[in-house]
Structure 1
């Protein structure tokens, strides 16, 4: 009985996380690329599901046709990523890879969103004022 309750609770939390993450990515990616439908490439299955559930985001099977590349680990970072718009769900990738302009990750049970001011300027991205609290001066 406890196992059944645990499984049901886990499924409910998973669905909540997917819906919430979809909305967050939708808002972030539209702030970064102000167009009606933002095309996202990711090789991560879990994030493919999240992006597929976002109302105004589309998945791309090719890096070249994507507006934003979403990565979760170093292994997912494409070769020659300096000309790509890279966003990550890993704080470690964000701080280590200078091509990642921002990150959305969990830290001690809280959602964290960060953008590098220098990296945004380098990519000529201007975020709305509502994102100012997420923009950090450090590289």
Structure 2
């Protein structure tokens, strides 16, 4: 698609690993009619066109960016409290990326494509997974 693209970055609070994020999403997605996972947030991206132009959400797990998911759509979600929220509809596979340390922050942030960690090759994605703390320590010293 022509035009500018950008990504989102979000802490996956309470998640211990990419596998536990996958497990949580597999359960949570069943509540949606199309069975696609979503992340529901209070704020609607002002740069929605850029996010929907090939953007992904990059997940920070225990202080390390470890994976991403392609963003399929942004949908209005109104819960029991009547407040309008943004449902970020996500593609199902979590794509592992180079472990990149990231300090804690609240909510989500924009992530320019130039700052996004590279996807791991298929061979690297199948390697035995290191604990996030070790991945973070290695990334801090430049080992990816």
Structure 2-normalised TM-score?
0.25
Q: Which one has the bigger helix percentage?
A: 1
Structure 1-normalised TM-score?
0.26
Q: Specify which structure has the bigger relative contact order, considering alpha-carbon pairs within 8 angstroms and separated by 6 or more residues.
A: 2
